[in-house]
A and B are shown apart, each in its own frame.
Chain A
Amino acid sequence: QQQVKQSPQSLIVQKGGISIINCAYENTAFDYFPWYQQFPGKGPALLIAIRPDVSEKKEGRFTISFNKSAKQFSLHIMDSQPGDSATYFCAASRSGNKLVFGAGTILRVKS
């Protein structure tokens, strides 16, 4: 019940295209859903986060879409750039308890 399943494992997108990464969860008590970005040799960095009281949150080129009934949330990267090439992790937590991370998606943006 604590798992967060992330897909795809890897993704190749052309520069200027839209990158979409999906996550699904089972625990309906989860109330915080962040996305982290990790570059090689670095620790993850918080990108954007959402709570279940809204269906979408946008920050610059990054958007989280949240579907509470389907227990799914996704990250959309608009106008993808080579500098966006990194590993992306979704995560979830309940009431301030520990974050449960997905397995990660390796994104490569081709120039």
Chain B
Amino acid sequence: EAGVAQSPRYKIIEKRQSVAFWCNPISGHATLYWYQQILGQGPKLLIQFQNNGVVDDSQLPKDRFSAERLKGVDSTLKIQPAKLEDSAVYLCASSFGRVNEKLFFGSGTQLSVL
């Protein structure tokens, strides 16, 4: 079974630039999550989709972050404009069945904002 695919693996940008991350979940997984993991901290949920609908985006900084999941499969997360404090690993995860249980994570995109 293929895992959660994410790209790019690394991204370096200047502050105020924009950036986008892509995620393809495990086939058949209805729930997709985007997490932000700052160095030395645990992952923090940014947004959760159930199929192509948003379930929880309470911790998404909506003035600069946006996400979509077209057709209920793959998803993109965008930051515009980026700030220095956005430097982190952005993890995508998916799950099947009970929500927020048994999450399968991708390897993440490491973002450095200079």
A46 to B45, CA, bound (A): 16
Whether the pair B101, A96 counts as a contact (CB closer than 8 A) is yes
Whether the pair B100, A43 counts as a contact (CB closer than 8 A) is no
A43 in contact with B45 given A49-B101, A97-B100, A103-B40 (CB within 8 Å): no
Q: Is B49 an interface residue (CB 8 A)?
A: no
For B4, list chain A residues within 8 Å (CB).
Answer: 43
Query: Secondary structure of the B side of the interface?
Result: loop
Cβ contact of B42, chosen from A42, A89, A93, A98, cutoff 8 A: A89
A49 to B93, CA, bound (A): 17
Q: Is A99 an interface residue (CB 8 A)?
A: yes
Q: Is B106 an interface residue (CB 8 A)?
A: yes
Whether the pair A98, B102 counts as a contact (CB closer than 8 A) is no
A93 to B103, CA, bound (A): 13
For B102, list chain A residues within 8 Å (CB).
Answer: 46, 49
Cβ contact of A96, chosen from B45, B100, B103, B108, cutoff 8 A: B100
A97 to B4, CA, bound (A): 21
Whether the pair A103, B98 counts as a contact (CB closer than 8 A) is no
A43 in contact with B93 given A34-B101, A97-B100, A98-B48 (CB within 8 Å): yes
Question: Whole-angstrom distance from the CB of A66 to the nearest CB of chain B?
Answer: 16
For B14, list chain A residues within 8 Å (CB).
Answer: none
Whether the pair B105, A44 counts as a contact (CB closer than 8 A) is yes
Q: Is A91 an interface residue (CB 8 A)?
A: yes
A89 to B99, CA, bound (A): 19
How does the 8 Å CB contact mask read for A81-98 relative to B, with 1 for contact and 0 for none? 000000001010100111
For B41, list chain A residues within 8 Å (CB).
Answer: 103-104
For B91, list chain A residues within 8 Å (CB).
Answer: 43-44
Question: Whole-angstrom distance from the CB of B106 to the nearest CB of chain A?
Answer: 5
A43 in contact with B106 given A34-B101, A101-B43 (CB within 8 Å): yes
For A96, list chain B residues within 8 Å (CB).
Answer: 98-101
Q: Is A41 an interface residue (CB 8 A)?
A: yes
The 9 lowest CB-CB distance pairs between A and B, nearest first, are: A43-B105, A101-B42, A98-B45, A96-B99, A89-B42, A93-B100, A44-B105, A43-B91, A101-B43
In the complex, besides A89-B43, A99-B45, 15 extra interface pairs with C-beta distance below 8 angstroms are A4-B42, A43-B4, A43-B91, A43-B107, A44-B105, A45-B104, A46-B102, A49-B102, A93-B100, A96-B101, A99-B100, A99-B103, A101-B42, A101-B44, A104-B42
